[in-house]
Amino acid sequence: MNAVNPRRWWALAVLAAAQFMVIMDTSIIGVALPEMQRELGFTQGGLQWVFNAYVIAFGGLLLLGGRLSDLLGARRVFAAGWVVLLAGSVVAAAAGTAWVEILGRAVQGVGGALIAPSAMTLLMMLFGHDSRELGKAMALYGAAAPAGGTAGVFLGGVVTEYLSWPWVFVVYIPIGLATLAAVPALLPAVQGRRGSVDLLGAATVTGGIALAVFAVVRAPEQGWGAPATLLELAGAAVLLAAFLVVQRTVRQPIMPLGIWRTPGLAMANLAMALLGAAWIPMWYFLNLYLQQVLGYGAFPSGAALLPMTVAIMIFMIGITARLLGRFGAKPLIVIGMLVLAAGVGVLSLVRPDGAFVADVLPASLIAAVGMSLAYIPAMMSAMSGVRPEESGLASGIVNTTYNVGSALGLAVMTAVATSRGAAELGDLSQLTSGFRAAFVGAAVVAAAGGVLALVLMRGRKTSVAADSRPEEARA
């Protein structure tokens, strides 16, 4: 074990800032979406790629980022991730077309996939000498996630309203440069180890996810039964099947399939996928409803979402952990998913001439409570049964699952919303009808998650509940 680093708490500040920024990257763009749509020419259905490009790259490459951290050294990969994230931010800020914007967001996602696992490795190295210090450090690091989501919502509104949408990406540049400057002085050098990189596995899983989302996004336009749609879905299935074959045959896979024999891991990941598939579409279409139907500007829209995001932060940090330690994961996941379904279901009653206080605020707070109750227990349930040496892999898998569920859920709900009128910009009745359909779909997904957890999940307490480590809380 390395000697205790006297500047470990300053180093934690750097790592928490990275966690803050990676999570903020998914929330800051929400209120800027309508402005980006107007200036870059996104269609109503294509606008989701501003979000999906990031989460597909982030989720698809997260396991590879963890492997590279092991092989090349965590500090080196952490710094490289920031360089990539900054490069993506520059491209996204300077974009003059929709495709360049999507490219910049994808590059940002690659950077996030390098930063997140290497930051966790560095944190364990800095505080692994003392379990009490480690618990405190993990709590502070975890708190940076909901804080990043909250700050992103507010900052995105301020920046978009009083500057312009490219500045939601420009803000990363000074923070990133300051972080890179602090890396040599504060973060420990970590020696890599010999081994191989499963590039084929990373390519097949990321390509399969991206092609599946692409097929679902295009399906309303070209038809669900059209040859092109069927061919794209078949191609996605082939790539994902190839990923499983690669994981069984290569010597050092990025996701050893044996980990899925861990009791409860599969069900916990299913819960995380359905949670992402319900929460992210709700968040996305709520942003659009506030601006495209109620006529809110960017700043009022960001401010309108603050009560919801603050509620998430309060519950995740101060309440859910205590409930998890007392009742275990299963009851909280079941109740949380059903409460989320109720909140999103109430949002499906929004009106073309609605008001924030009546149509949005109560429902969004209910949904926030549900998300807060379910997220950490599902995360901890996924990690509680694995061996200590597999905890990083399990964490990477469950975060990948959440991001994949988010991307696929958003693609499906966008297709549903578009088929019900959400592409009719300027027609408030049609827009609202489309958004309602998306909210209904998201509520059904959340309710299904609650029922499946009730029926299939084992009712045992998670062994890591007391740690309460919310590693990747989303917008």
Q: Give the separation between CA 183 and CA 176, rounded to whole angstroms.
A: 11
Domain count across the chain: 3
At 390 the pLDDT is: 65
At 128 the pLDDT is: 66
98 and 135 together in one domain: yes
The CB density around residue 303, as the number of other CB atoms within 10 Å, is 19
At 139 the pLDDT is: 63
Q: Give the separation between CA 355 and CA 361, rounded to whole angstroms.
A: 9
67 and 120 together in one domain: yes
CA angle centred on 409, ends 84 and 239, rounded to 5°: 65
173 and 24 together in one domain: yes
* Residue where one domain finishes, among candidates 141, 156, 191: 191
366 and 346 together in one domain: yes
141 and 284 together in one domain: no
DSSP class of residue 354?
-
Please name the residue ranges forming H helices in 223-360: 227-249, 265-288, 298-314, 320-327, 329-347
Helix, strand and coil in the chain, % to nearest 5:
80, 0, 20
335 and 212 together in one domain: no
Residues 6+ apart with CB under 8 A from 22: 58, 112, 115, 116, 148, 472
At 268 the pLDDT is: 87
* Residue where one domain finishes, among candidates 191, 215, 234: 191
36 and 182 together in one domain: yes
270 and 246 together in one domain: no
Could you tell me if residue 288 is inside a domain? yes
279 and 238 together in one domain: no
Contact, 298 vs 160, CB < 8 A?
yes
Tell me the CATH number at 97: 1.20.1250.20
Could you tell me if residue 120 is inside a domain? yes
Could you tell me if residue 347 is inside a domain? yes
* Residue where one domain finishes, among candidates 142, 173, 191: 191
Q: What is the mean pLDDT of each run of 10 residues along the chain (475 residues)?
A: 70 83 74 85 81 82 81 86 93 91 92 84 74 68 68 77 84 87 82 75 85 80 82 92 91 83 85 90 87 83 82 79 80 94 94 89 93 83 68 73 84 84 78 92 95 82 42 42
Q: Look up the pTM and report it.
A: 0.79
At 130 the pLDDT is: 66
Could you tell me if residue 329 is inside a domain? yes
Could you tell me if residue 75 is inside a domain? yes
> Residue 303 sits in which domain range?
261-470
Contact, 259 vs 383, CB < 8 A?
no
Strand, helix or coil at 192? Answer: coil
Could you tell me if residue 475 is inside a domain? no
Q: Give the separation between CA 69 and CA 115, rounded to whole angstroms.
A: 9
323 and 391 together in one domain: yes
At 389 the pLDDT is: 57
157 and 218 together in one domain: no
Residues 6+ apart with CB under 8 A from 133: 127
Could you tell me if residue 256 is inside a domain? no
343 and 316 together in one domain: yes
Could you tell me if residue 17 is inside a domain? yes
Residue with tokens 């139907």: 293
